[in-house]
Structure formats: C-alpha cells, structure tokens
Amino acid sequence: MARGRRYPLVLVAVVWLGFLAVFEKPLAERRPTPPELRAGAEFVVTSPNDAGPGSLREAIFAADRAQTRARVRIRARRIVLETPLPPLINPEGVVIDAPDPDTEIDARALPDGPVLDLAAPRSVVHGLRIRGAAGSGILVRAPGARLTKVALLDCGVGVQLAEGVDDLVVEESSFEENGTGVRLAAGTSGVSVSQNGFRKHDQAAVWAVAPSPPLRPTAPALVLRQNRFEDDRISVVLINVPAQVEENRFARAGEAAVYLSGPGVVRRNRIQAGSRVGMYADAADGAQIEDNEFDHNLAVGVLLRQGRGAGVLRNRVYENGYGIAVVFGDRGGPNVVAENLVLSQREDGLYVVGGAPVLRGNRALRNRGAGLRVLDYVPLRGPRVTGDPLLQDNVFQENGSDAPIRGEYREPRVRQESR
C-alpha cells in the first residue's frame, strides 16, 4: 500500500526532471536579466569569425557608438580571433554577457595585447572564457569593472588592472595555467577578489606590488576572500600593498602560498602542503598573521624575516618541517609571536635566528626537534647578531627537547667557481 502511494510521486519527479532537461535552456533565455547586466541597447554576437556581420568585433564597435549603456550578448559558442579587438570606450559602460558557460574566445593567434580592453567605466564581463592570450586576457583601464563567472586559461596575465584604477570586483571565476592570474599595478585600490579558483600559475596567482609602502595607515587596497589556490609557484605576492587575505585555502604552492612585504592582514586561511614555505613575511612591518592553519609545508609553516611590530597570533601550526621561524627583527618595535599552537613539526617548533621577538603564551607540543631553538647569527664580516627573544608563559611539552636550545648560525662561505 505504501509502495503504491509512493509510485505516483516518483513518476512525477521523473517527468519533472525530463521537463527541465528539455526546457532548461529556453527557460533560462526567458528569465529576467539581472540588474547588473541590463543596458539601454543590446547587440548580439552570432558569428564565430574574427570580423564581419554578427561578429564580436562589430558588436563592440556598435556598443562604443551607442548613446547609452550597451550590452553585447554572445551566442556564438567559440570565437577565434585573428587580430586584436577594439577597446570598449562607451562612457556609459559596456556589458559583455555570455549566457552559455562554454562560450570561449580563442586568442592563441594574437601575438600580444589584451583580448578585452575595458576602457569604459562600470563595465561588466559575465560568463566568458578566454584562452591563450599572449598578453592580458582582460585589461581593466577604467573604474568600476565587475568580472563574474569568467575563466582565464593559458594567458600571459589573466586580468590586468592598470595603474591608478580603482573599484574592481572579480568573483566566482576561474584562473588556470596563466603566467599570472590577477595582476594589480601600483596605486590601485578598492579591489575585491572573492570566491574564485586559481590553479597552476607560473609566476603568481595574484600579484600586487607597489614601489613603496603607504605613508600612513589606509583602508585595504585589496581584499582576497574565500578563494582556492592550488599548485601555483607562488599563490599571492603582496609588496607594499595594504591587503586583507581572509578565509582562503592554499594547497601545494611551489615556493610560498603567501609572500608578504609591508603591511597586511592574513587571517583565517588554510595553508597546506607547500613544497617550501607556507607563508613568507619579509619586512612585513605591522602585519597581522592570525587564526590561520599551517600544515604539511615541507620547509617552514611561517617564516618572519626582518620587520618590526608584526604579530603572529593564535595560529595552528602542525606537521611542517619547522613551525614558526623568526629571523632578525627590529628591537625598537619587536615582532610578537603569541598564543600559537605549534605541534608535531619534523624539526623545531619555534626557531629564532638573530632576532628579539616576544614569544608569549605559545604551546609547543610533540615537535621532534626542540620546542624552541635560539641561534645567534654570525656573519662572515661584522658583529654577531644575538638571538634574544623575550619568553613569557610559553608551554613546551613532549618535544625532542623541552628546554630551549641555544647555538649559533654561521653565514656560509660561497665557494668561488673557477673560470
């Protein structure tokens, strides 16, 4: 009886799934256009050719001539470019919309230059895949750009933000096997990169570099949140760019998951299985590295070198080569390593060379080497740099040595190769 009552429900479900399979695409085409994709004029791309009627080139020319915000809707499944496209310059903005997620621009025949040049303010690119650009897949030269559900594959640079351009959002997109995934020039601000996937970048997944640090504390110029990074050489490079790196997952970086120099906040990330260093903070004055999980990085979980006033706080650091290493540092504004759980490293838990950090409230447990090793730095020339941390309320238990081990690190001599 119960089985008989369930049968009609199963039949209805099967019929409904079949209905969706047949009519999903036509229904999707009739759904209301999201507000961010709406425009006063629309131009449809139907041709896969580089030029001619129905081509993307002609649609961009038409959008640039429009007197209102324009939308270019791409219906051609694959577009093969032979020559560079014109820039998008409509002052009211241009929307490039590819409703079919398999829509692709093949740019492998272009010798250089960007595929899409967004010189129109408040432009949107949605749902488009760009492959094989020798230069940039998307160059952003005007403020207010929004890139959603795009894919950049095998490009020199996936997304390039020009110098001094503000207010860029990149979200729900994928970057794979590019030289650099997202590259920000100096002087940019208001950039949000969230919920994207990055994989196998030759240089860096995200590159943000300025020639000098800000003169005074500022709001973050870049926010990286809830992205996933896998198998990049370096996942994130931040030099003199105030940034927040939060709630991301990093796996199997070749050199470092995060390289940070200058100010920044790195919080609630998972950084694992790197071939060398999980996070490398070099002269990261005032940086905050807190509430992260560092595990199974081959050399060091966290390496803090030089700098002053940085905080390494409340992190979980386990199963790395070394746990947290502090090398040098400014005695006038000491770095603080506090309340971290450091356990089961293959070597030492806490490792200090020639620095004077404050080590407070850390728990170093079951590390195979020392819970804490402190080394003086002995250069080939010049005075010895004493390792002299301030120890407050740390716990060292079940390590290879629970008593701090003192020693020295001698600068190695570089052997001169005979000519």
Mean model confidence pLDDT for the chain: 91
Does 308 score more than 60 pLDDT? yes
pLDDT value for 15? 42
- Residue 12 — pLDDT band, cuts 50, 70, 90? very low
- Residue 9 — pLDDT band, cuts 50, 70, 90? very low
pLDDT value for 13? 40
pLDDT value for 331? 62
Tell me how far apart the alpha carbons of residues 314 and 203 are, in angstroms, rounded to a whole number. Answer: 30
The more confident residue out of 304 and 30 is: 304
Q: Which amino acid would we find at residue 315?
A: N
- Residue 10 — pLDDT band, cuts 50, 70, 90? very low
Q: Are 140 and 167 in contact (CB under 8 A)?
A: no
pLDDT value for 219? 83
- Choose among 111, 114, 105, 155: nearest CA to 132: 155
pLDDT value for 174? 98
pLDDT value for 35? 62
Q: Which pairing describes strands 174-176 and 300-305: parallel, antiparallel, or unpaired?
A: unpaired
- Residue 419 — pLDDT band, cuts 50, 70, 90? very low
Q: Which pairing describes strands 243-246 and 316-318: parallel, antiparallel, or unpaired?
A: unpaired
Share of the chain above pLDDT 70, in %: 89
61: left (phi over 0), alpha (psi -120 to 50) or beta: alpha
pLDDT value for 215? 74
What residues form DSSP beta bridges with 293?
270, 316
Does 175 score more than 90 pLDDT? yes
Does 20 score more than 60 pLDDT? no
Q: Which pairing describes strands 151-153 and 129-131: parallel, antiparallel, or unpaired?
A: parallel
pLDDT value for 33? 64
pLDDT value for 415? 59
pLDDT value for 86? 97
Does 19 score more than 50 pLDDT? no
pLDDT value for 305? 94
Indicate the range of 135-139, 155-159, 301-305, 307-311 predicted with least confidence: 307-311
The more confident residue out of 266 and 113 is: 266
3-state SS, one letter per residue, for the chain: CHHHHHHHHHHHHHHHHHHHHHHHHHHHHHCCCCHHHCCCEEEEECCCCCCCCCCHHHHHHHHHHCCCCEEEEECCCEEECCCCCCCECCCCCEEEECCCCCCEEECCCCCCCCCEEECCCCCEEECCEEECCCCEEEEECCCCCEEECCEEECCCEEEEECCCCEEEEEECCEEECCCEEEEECCCCEEEEEECCEEECCCCEEEEEECCCCCCCCCCCCEEEECCEEECCCEEEEEECCCEEEECCEEECCCCEEEEEECCCEEECCEEECCCCEEEEEECCCCCEEECCEEECCCCEEEEEECCCCCEEECCEEECCCEEEEEECCCCCCCCEEECCEEECCCCCCEEEECCCCEEECCEEECCCCECEEEEEEECCCCCCECCCCEEECCEEECCCECCCEEEEEECCCCCCCCC
Share of the chain above pLDDT 90, in %: 82
Per-residue pLDDT tens for 230-286?
999 999 999 999 999 999 999 999 999 999 999 899 999 999 999 999 999 999 999
Q: Hunting for tokens 């386990």 — which residue is that? A: 318
Does 330 score more than 80 pLDDT? no
Q: Alpha-carbon dihedral of residues 7, 8, 9, 15, nearest 10 degrees?
A: 110
| Residue 406, both tokens | 């003192």
Does 119 score more than 60 pLDDT? yes
Indicate the range of 17-26, 305-314, 371-380, 394-403 predicted with least confidence: 17-26
Q: Which pairing describes strands 174-176 and 228-230: parallel, antiparallel, or unpaired?
A: unpaired
Tell me how far apart the alpha carbons of residues 201 and 248 are, in angstroms, rounded to a whole number. Answer: 17
Tell me how far apart the alpha carbons of residues 117 and 355 are, in angstroms, rounded to a whole number. Answer: 48
pLDDT value for 332? 67
Q: What mean pLDDT do residues 93-106 have? A: 94
Does 214 score more than 80 pLDDT? no
Q: What mean pLDDT do residues 315-328 have? A: 97
